[in-house]
Amino acid sequence: MNPSKEQNFTKDSVINMLPFLLLFLLPALFAAELCHPNDKAALLAFKHSFSNPNPNPIPTWDPNFDCCNYSGVKCDETTNYVIGLEMISDYLTGTIPTALANLTHLQELRLHKIPNLVGEIPPAIGELTNLRYLEISWTNISGPVPLFLVNLKNLVFLELQFNRLSGSIPPSLATLPYLRVIDLSRNQLTGPIPESFGYLPKTAEFPALILSHNKLSGEIPASLANLNFSSVDISRNNLSGDASVFFGKGKITTEIVISRNNFEFDFSKVSFMESLVILDISHNKIYGSIPPQITEDTMLQSLNLTYNRLCGKIPTDWKLKFHSEGWDYTSFFHNRCLCGIPLDPCK
């Protein structure tokens, strides 16, 4: 073929293909502009609210690019509104920016492992009424658990663990209709567990209650017996009373951890759910014998009954599916008069 003709053929081919190339490229070009201006402005205001020595603390958040492609940002695939924000950073310094309130479609907010995040949880969080998941964890925020969280009627997960929150737990949290996880562990909270927590709406099925490592005190509310918890961890507080409210045949609880409190009740009267995987009642004043029914809990994988006032013979013939080697002395020692394998023989 003549070189000039070949050159013309190539040029003609490119020209002829332009409409088809544009057909494929235009959607991509338009897709880059789908970020809603208000959402982008809110995200950039969030970024610039921090008093960082680094002038660009979140370098991937460039105003020239689609905010739906920013790291930690999730957009709705249909509306392109920002519905999720997850931030993990050792470098952000300052308070939680009020600009978050302008992310009006936000459903998930996770501020995690930001050690230089300080101050209180701002009222702007209470304006995010579409939130389903709120996590502020492993930070240095302080102040109370805010009363305005009750405005978040769609909230399912409330996780405020590993912070410096203080004060009492707001009883009004129990009015949130869909709340499934309450994790306020590893703070400096004081006062009792609210009685209202025993009356969570039926729409909040099988809630998880995690309040460990605080300074809570007072008697455990009898109303908690009303609930079928998925898991309970209220360890390392100064709580007292009858924590047998968490037990009961027919419940679906997989984890009960009530260790290092001042609970005092007759363990022999407890009935066990078949779903139990982890049981830790250690370091309390719990008395009575170990109910033989516990051996029917085939799912049990972790057992700690130490440092109590239990007596009697340790049951045998455990029907364990996942702990076939059975229990050693570390599950039972330092009780008033427990005996039998794996402890000393009964006299």
| Cα three-residue angle 133-175-257, rounded to 5 degrees | 70
Question: What residues pair up with 287 in beta bridges, in sequence order?
Answer: 266, 309
Spatial neighbors of 344 by CB under 8 A, at least 6 apart, are: none
Residue 22 has pLDDT above 90, yes or no: no
Mean pLDDT of the chain: 91
Report residue 14's pLDDT band, with 50, 70 and 90 as the boundaries. very low
pLDDT per residue as tens digits for the range 285-344: 999 999 999 999 999 999 999 999 999 999 999 999 998 888 999 999 999 999 999 999
10 Å Cβ neighbour count for 201? 12
Q: Which pTM does this prediction carry? A: 0.89
**CA-CA-CA-CA torsion sign (261, 267, 272, 277):** positive
> Among 36-40, 54-58, 243-247, which is the least confidently predicted range?
54-58
**Average pLDDT of 66-75?**
96
- Beta strand 133-139 with 215-219: parallel, antiparallel or unpaired? unpaired
Dist. CA 65–CA 129, nearest whole Å: 28
- Residue-wise burial string across 76-104, b where 16 or more C-beta atoms lie within 10 A, e elsewhere: eeeebbbbbbebebeebbeebbebbbbbe
User: For residue 37, is the peptide bond before it cis, meaning its omega torsion is within 30 degrees of 0?
Assistant: no
Which tops the pLDDT comparison, 326 or 267? 267
Percent of the chain surpassing pLDDT 70? 90
